[in-house]
Amino acid sequence: MNLDFRLGFDTFDVLQVEDYDWLTAGAEALRKAAYAELDNRFGYPLAAQHYLGGFVLDPENADEFWARIDAGIDEAIARGVDRAFVWALPQITRDGYVRLPFEEREVQAFDDVLYPLALGRDAGISPEFSTAISLTASGYERRNSQWSDARLNYDVGPGIRSHTELGVLLEFFRARRGPARGFRLEDPYDFSSNGLTGTPTAGDQLIGIGNGLAATFPLMKSYGGGDDPQQRVITRPRADTILVSVDGVANTDWTLTAGGRIVFTQAPAQDAEIRAGYLFDVPVRFAEDRLDITCATFAAGDAPSVPLIELREEV
């Protein structure tokens, strides 16, 4: 990252920042420290900063570098810079890089609140995968797993035990506008990094291997042993429960960002094991636009059906 000192004085309108060497190398921690130093030293607001996203010198690096440059531009726009540029037209033309006009992604509404009722023992929980299965003429199967992670379905209706709780449910349903807004659910059968329900420790889950440059590691949970465990991305951890270790040593020099990502101030060393422990909730929404509940059947002991479905969240 280079500073254009021609624009680095308060007599100028704009601070222009070129992001290249550390960006293309994947040196996240160094880049973030440089942004902080830049703001501290020059004091330009983001609305008075321009971002230049670099170029690709060697064709053999095109795929890897352009992906990082593109992500860097998205990051700069998300930070709030006034303008972002991709420069070096000959390289862009040679590599066929096309940057479409930026359009802010529609944010799917999510209320960061917990489902207000405890799930009873009769609550239904159904993990679901999507698998394409074809049968050959000789009777053998060909199976293609289309989802890398299961999607959970719940029926929390059997947990409703009183008219008071029924009223709480109806109020919560209306506040979420039915399925329009997501929310957190505590899964009573799987809510911890330590097994399914154990107390978290800093060594529970391997979330990455350091390379000396990368600083961001999403929280993950693995199911099953061997070389190919099923991995689940954890996007709604309980922040106050997170414990992190690097090569077995507790580490607190990190922050938690949206989507359950751990961002270190200093990038972990080459080959260092990054592990984490945490409690977590499941992001869900109501599966249907209406709830069918009658007082007569509820009074007779018939549990209402209240289906919920897990939300896929971008990391």
Cα(first)–Cα(last) distance of the chain, in Å?
Answer: 25
Give the predicted TM-score (pTM) of the model: 0.80
pLDDT tens digits, residue range 51-90?
A: 998 888 888 888 889 999 998 998 898 889 999 988 788 8
Burial 13-23 (b: 16+ CB within 10 A, else e): eebbbbbbebb
- Alpha helices by DSSP H, listed for 133-186, are 163-175
Within 10 angstroms of residue 160's Cβ, the number of other Cβ atoms is: 21
Q: Which element (helix H / strand E) includes 3? A: strand 2-3
- Alpha helices by DSSP H, listed for the chain, are 21-25, 28-42, 62-79, 89-95, 163-175, 295-299
Within 10 angstroms of residue 245's Cβ, the number of other Cβ atoms is: 18
d(C-alpha 69, C-alpha 71), whole Å: 5
Pair 264, 258: CB distance under 8 Å: no
pLDDT tens digits, residue range 9-28?
A: 556 788 888 888 899 888 98
For every one of its 315 residues, what pLDDT tens digit does the chain have, with 9 covering 90 and above? 544 444 445 567 888 888 888 998 889 899 989 988 888 888 899 999 999 988 888 888 888 899 999 989 988 988 899 999 887 888 888 888 888 765 555 657 999 999 999 887 778 888 898 888 898 888 899 888 888 888 999 999 887 878 888 889 999 999 999 999 999 999 999 999 999 999 999 999 999 999 999 999 999 999 987 778 889 999 999 999 999 999 999 999 999 998 999 999 999 999 999 999 999 999 999 999 998 877 765 665 566 889 999 999 876
d(C-alpha 179, C-alpha 285), whole Å: 5
pLDDT tens digits, residue range 136-148?
A: 888 899 888 888 8
The most distant pair of C-alpha atoms in the chain lies apart, rounded to whole Å, by 79
d(C-alpha 121, C-alpha 131), whole Å: 29
Burial 193-226 (b: 16+ CB within 10 A, else e): bbeeeeebebbbbebbebeebbbbbbbbbbeeee
DSSP readout, 83-109?
A: EEE---HHHHHHHT---PPP-PPPPPP
Pair 258, 280: CB distance under 8 Å: no
| SS3 state of residue 144 | strand
Domain spans, the chain: 2-95, 107-188+287-315, 192-280
